Chains A and B, each alone.
Chain A
Amino acid sequence: EVQLVESGGGLVQPGGSLRLSCAASGFTFSSYWMHWVRQAPGKGLVWVSRINSDGSSTSYADSVKGRFTISRDNAKNTLYLQMNSLRAEDTAVYYCARDRKSSGWSNWGQGTLVTVSS
Protein backbone atom coordinates (compact mmCIF):
# COMPACT_ATOMS: atom_id res chain seq x y z
CA GLU A 1 0.00 0.00 0.00
CA VAL A 2 1.32 3.41 -0.96
CA GLN A 3 1.76 5.71 2.02
CA LEU A 4 2.96 9.27 2.34
CA VAL A 5 3.34 10.63 5.86
CA GLU A 6 4.21 14.27 6.45
CA SER A 7 5.77 15.57 9.64
CA GLY A 8 7.59 18.60 10.96
CA GLY A 9 4.78 21.12 11.07
CA GLY A 10 4.13 23.37 14.02
CA LEU A 11 4.06 26.92 15.32
CA VAL A 12 6.90 29.20 14.24
CA GLN A 13 7.47 32.93 14.54
CA PRO A 14 7.61 35.18 11.49
CA GLY A 15 11.08 35.10 10.01
CA GLY A 16 11.72 31.65 11.40
CA SER A 17 12.49 28.34 9.73
CA LEU A 18 10.98 24.90 9.61
CA ARG A 19 11.77 21.67 7.77
CA LEU A 20 8.97 19.41 6.67
CA SER A 21 9.47 15.73 5.89
CA CYS A 22 7.40 13.31 3.85
CA ALA A 23 8.14 9.63 4.46
CA ALA A 24 7.21 7.40 1.53
CA SER A 25 6.51 3.69 1.47
CA GLY A 26 4.82 1.09 -0.72
CA PHE A 27 6.43 2.19 -3.98
CA THR A 28 9.84 2.78 -5.53
CA PHE A 29 10.32 6.32 -4.24
CA SER A 30 13.40 7.00 -6.37
CA SER A 31 11.40 6.54 -9.58
CA TYR A 32 8.89 9.33 -9.04
CA TRP A 33 8.79 13.09 -9.12
CA MET A 34 7.28 14.56 -5.99
CA HIS A 35 5.42 17.76 -5.12
CA TRP A 36 4.53 19.92 -2.15
CA VAL A 37 1.10 21.54 -2.16
CA ARG A 38 -0.32 23.80 0.54
CA GLN A 39 -3.75 24.91 1.64
CA ALA A 40 -4.31 27.92 3.85
CA PRO A 41 -7.21 27.61 6.32
CA GLY A 42 -10.49 27.79 4.40
CA LYS A 43 -8.72 28.38 1.09
CA GLY A 44 -7.86 26.40 -2.01
CA LEU A 45 -4.96 24.19 -3.01
CA VAL A 46 -1.76 25.92 -4.09
CA TRP A 47 1.18 24.19 -5.70
CA VAL A 48 4.45 25.00 -3.90
CA SER A 49 7.30 23.01 -5.40
CA ARG A 50 8.36 19.87 -7.27
CA ILE A 51 11.49 17.77 -7.55
CA ASN A 52 12.45 15.20 -10.14
CA SER A 53 13.24 11.60 -9.33
CA ASP A 54 16.97 11.96 -8.66
CA GLY A 55 16.80 15.42 -7.12
CA SER A 56 18.71 17.14 -9.89
CA SER A 57 15.87 19.43 -10.99
CA THR A 58 13.47 21.55 -8.94
CA SER A 59 10.91 24.26 -9.50
CA TYR A 60 9.03 26.61 -7.19
CA ALA A 61 5.98 28.82 -7.11
CA ASP A 62 6.90 32.50 -7.25
CA SER A 63 5.51 33.02 -3.73
CA VAL A 64 8.16 30.78 -2.15
CA LYS A 65 11.09 31.07 -4.57
CA GLY A 66 14.28 31.98 -2.75
CA ARG A 67 12.81 31.09 0.67
CA PHE A 68 11.88 27.40 0.34
CA THR A 69 14.08 24.50 -0.79
CA ILE A 70 12.78 21.11 -1.84
CA SER A 71 15.07 18.09 -1.59
CA ARG A 72 14.95 14.34 -1.26
CA ASP A 73 16.92 11.45 0.14
CA ASN A 74 16.17 8.42 -2.01
CA ALA A 75 18.11 6.15 0.35
CA LYS A 76 15.73 7.14 3.15
CA ASN A 77 12.61 7.33 0.94
CA THR A 78 12.00 10.83 2.24
CA LEU A 79 11.05 14.16 0.69
CA TYR A 80 11.85 17.44 2.42
CA LEU A 81 10.80 21.06 2.31
CA GLN A 82 13.11 23.54 4.03
CA MET A 83 11.17 26.71 4.73
CA ASN A 84 13.06 29.87 5.68
CA SER A 85 12.01 33.49 6.25
CA LEU A 86 8.51 32.32 7.04
CA ARG A 87 5.62 34.77 6.79
CA ALA A 88 2.10 34.77 8.17
CA GLU A 89 0.80 34.00 4.68
CA ASP A 90 2.75 30.72 4.69
CA THR A 91 0.33 29.41 7.31
CA ALA A 92 -1.26 26.34 5.77
CA VAL A 93 -1.58 22.59 5.72
CA TYR A 94 1.28 21.25 3.62
CA TYR A 95 0.75 18.08 1.59
CA CYS A 96 3.24 15.97 -0.30
CA ALA A 97 2.03 14.18 -3.42
CA ARG A 98 3.40 11.52 -5.76
CA ASP A 99 3.51 12.47 -9.41
CA ARG A 100 2.64 9.63 -11.77
CA LYS A 101 3.27 11.86 -14.79
CA SER A 102 0.27 11.91 -17.12
CA SER A 103 -1.63 9.63 -14.72
CA GLY A 104 -1.84 12.45 -12.21
CA TRP A 105 -0.94 12.91 -8.56
CA SER A 106 -2.54 9.73 -7.36
CA ASN A 107 -1.24 9.65 -3.81
CA TRP A 108 -1.25 12.35 -1.16
CA GLY A 109 -0.22 12.47 2.46
CA GLN A 110 -2.58 13.52 5.22
CA GLY A 111 -0.89 16.91 5.54
CA THR A 112 1.00 18.74 8.27
CA LEU A 113 -0.06 22.13 9.63
CA VAL A 114 2.38 25.03 9.66
CA THR A 115 1.33 28.10 11.63
CA VAL A 116 3.40 31.26 11.35
CA SER A 117 2.51 33.62 14.16
CA SER A 118 4.06 35.64 16.93
Chain B
Amino acid sequence: SYELTQPPSVSVSPGQTARITCSGDALPKQYAYWYQQKPGQAPVLVIYKDSERPSGIPERFSGSSSGTTVTLTISGVQAEDEADYYCQSADSSGTYKVFGGGTKLTVL
Protein backbone atom coordinates (compact mmCIF):
# COMPACT_ATOMS: atom_id res chain seq x y z
CA SER B 1 0.00 0.00 0.00
CA TYR B 2 1.04 3.56 -0.65
CA GLU B 3 2.86 5.48 2.09
CA LEU B 4 3.87 9.04 2.84
CA THR B 5 6.98 9.52 4.98
CA GLN B 6 7.43 12.36 7.46
CA PRO B 7 10.06 12.93 10.15
CA PRO B 8 8.64 12.07 13.58
CA SER B 9 9.72 15.33 15.15
CA VAL B 10 11.06 18.79 14.42
CA SER B 11 12.21 21.31 17.03
CA VAL B 12 12.79 25.02 16.57
CA SER B 13 13.13 28.10 18.73
CA PRO B 14 10.54 30.87 18.57
CA GLY B 15 11.07 33.15 15.59
CA GLN B 16 13.00 30.56 13.61
CA THR B 17 11.83 28.70 10.52
CA ALA B 18 10.48 25.16 10.73
CA ARG B 19 10.46 22.88 7.71
CA ILE B 20 8.57 19.61 7.68
CA THR B 21 9.00 17.27 4.74
CA CYS B 22 6.74 14.59 3.31
CA SER B 23 7.90 12.07 0.72
CA GLY B 24 5.89 9.78 -1.53
CA ASP B 25 6.22 8.31 -4.98
CA ALA B 26 2.91 9.67 -6.25
CA LEU B 27 3.43 13.24 -5.08
CA PRO B 28 4.46 14.43 -8.56
CA LYS B 29 0.97 13.36 -9.75
CA GLN B 30 -1.23 14.06 -6.72
CA TYR B 31 -1.68 17.22 -4.70
CA ALA B 32 -0.57 17.31 -1.10
CA TYR B 33 -2.43 18.81 1.81
CA TRP B 34 -1.23 19.71 5.29
CA TYR B 35 -3.21 19.53 8.51
CA GLN B 36 -2.38 20.89 11.94
CA GLN B 37 -3.69 19.04 14.99
CA LYS B 38 -3.42 20.20 18.56
CA PRO B 39 -4.07 17.86 21.50
CA GLY B 40 -7.71 16.94 21.90
CA GLN B 41 -8.75 18.83 18.78
CA ALA B 42 -9.79 17.93 15.27
CA PRO B 43 -7.32 18.52 12.43
CA VAL B 44 -7.26 21.91 10.71
CA LEU B 45 -6.31 22.37 7.06
CA VAL B 46 -3.33 24.75 6.73
CA ILE B 47 -2.17 24.12 3.14
CA TYR B 48 -4.02 22.72 0.12
CA LYS B 49 -2.94 21.92 -3.46
CA ASP B 50 0.72 21.77 -2.36
CA SER B 51 1.09 25.49 -1.70
CA GLU B 52 -2.25 27.26 -1.32
CA ARG B 53 -3.23 28.71 2.04
CA PRO B 54 -6.88 28.67 3.18
CA SER B 55 -8.41 31.89 4.38
CA GLY B 56 -7.72 32.49 8.03
CA ILE B 57 -4.40 30.65 8.06
CA PRO B 58 -1.48 32.96 8.92
CA GLU B 59 0.90 33.93 6.13
CA ARG B 60 3.80 32.33 7.99
CA PHE B 61 2.49 28.96 6.78
CA SER B 62 3.59 28.03 3.26
CA GLY B 63 3.98 24.92 1.18
CA SER B 64 6.16 23.82 -1.69
CA SER B 65 6.71 20.79 -3.88
CA SER B 66 9.72 19.31 -5.61
CA GLY B 67 9.54 15.90 -7.24
CA THR B 68 8.53 13.26 -4.72
CA THR B 69 8.82 15.60 -1.72
CA VAL B 70 6.55 18.31 -0.42
CA THR B 71 7.50 20.70 2.36
CA LEU B 72 5.53 22.67 4.91
CA THR B 73 7.40 25.76 6.01
CA ILE B 74 6.47 27.81 9.04
CA SER B 75 8.37 31.10 9.11
CA GLY B 76 8.77 32.98 12.36
CA VAL B 77 7.44 30.09 14.44
CA GLN B 78 5.29 31.03 17.41
CA ALA B 79 4.55 29.06 20.53
CA GLU B 80 0.98 28.51 19.34
CA ASP B 81 2.31 26.60 16.32
CA GLU B 82 3.37 23.70 18.53
CA ALA B 83 1.27 20.82 17.25
CA ASP B 84 1.27 17.66 15.17
CA TYR B 85 1.38 18.19 11.43
CA TYR B 86 0.17 15.65 8.88
CA CYS B 87 0.59 15.59 5.14
CA GLN B 88 -2.17 13.94 3.12
CA SER B 89 -2.40 12.87 -0.48
CA ALA B 90 -3.55 9.94 -2.61
CA ASP B 91 -2.09 7.03 -4.52
CA SER B 92 -1.38 7.49 -8.23
CA SER B 93 -4.94 6.55 -9.16
CA GLY B 94 -6.38 9.07 -6.74
CA THR B 95 -8.65 6.40 -5.27
CA TYR B 96 -6.96 5.68 -1.97
CA LYS B 97 -6.20 8.56 0.36
CA VAL B 98 -3.28 8.43 2.73
CA PHE B 99 -1.80 10.42 5.59
CA GLY B 100 1.81 10.67 6.54
CA GLY B 101 2.75 9.42 9.99
CA GLY B 102 2.74 12.93 11.41
CA THR B 103 5.44 15.26 12.67
CA LYS B 104 5.44 16.70 16.16
CA LEU B 105 6.60 20.30 16.04
CA THR B 106 8.14 21.42 19.31
CA VAL B 107 8.76 25.10 19.95
CA LEU B 108 11.69 25.27 22.33
Docked CA distance A109–B42 (Å):
7
Docked CA distance A30–B64 (Å):
33
Binds A, one of B10-18, B20-28, B29-37, B71-79: B29-37
Write the nearest CB–CB distance from B1 to chain A, whole angstroms: 6
Report if B7 contacts A (CB, 8 A).
Answer: no
The digit string for B32-66, where 1 denotes a CB below 8 A from any CB of A, is 01010100001111001100101000000000000
**Given A44-B86, A45-B86, A105–B45 Cβ distance below 8 Å?**
yes
Docked CA distance A98–B45 (Å):
11
* B residues in contact with A28, CB < 8 Å: none
**Given A44-B102, A45-B35, A106–B45 Cβ distance below 8 Å?**
yes
Report the interface size class on chain B.
20 to 34
Of B48, B97, B102, which is within 8 A of A103 by CB?
B48
Write the nearest CB–CB distance from A1 to chain B, whole angstroms: 13
* A residues in contact with B54, CB < 8 Å: 103-104, 106
Q: Are B33 and A105 in contact (CB under 8 A)?
A: yes
* 6 closest cross-chain pairs (CB), A and B: A104-B48, A44-B102, A108-B42, A47-B97, A45-B99, A104-B33
Which residues of chain A have a CB within 8 Å of any CB of chain B? Answer: 35, 37, 44-47, 50, 59, 61-62, 95, 102-106, 108-111
Q: 14 interchain pairs (CB within 8 A)?
A: A35-B97, A45-B35, A45-B37, A45-B88, A45-B102, A47-B96, A61-B96, A102-B31, A103-B49, A104-B33, A104-B49, A105-B35, A108-B43, A108-B44
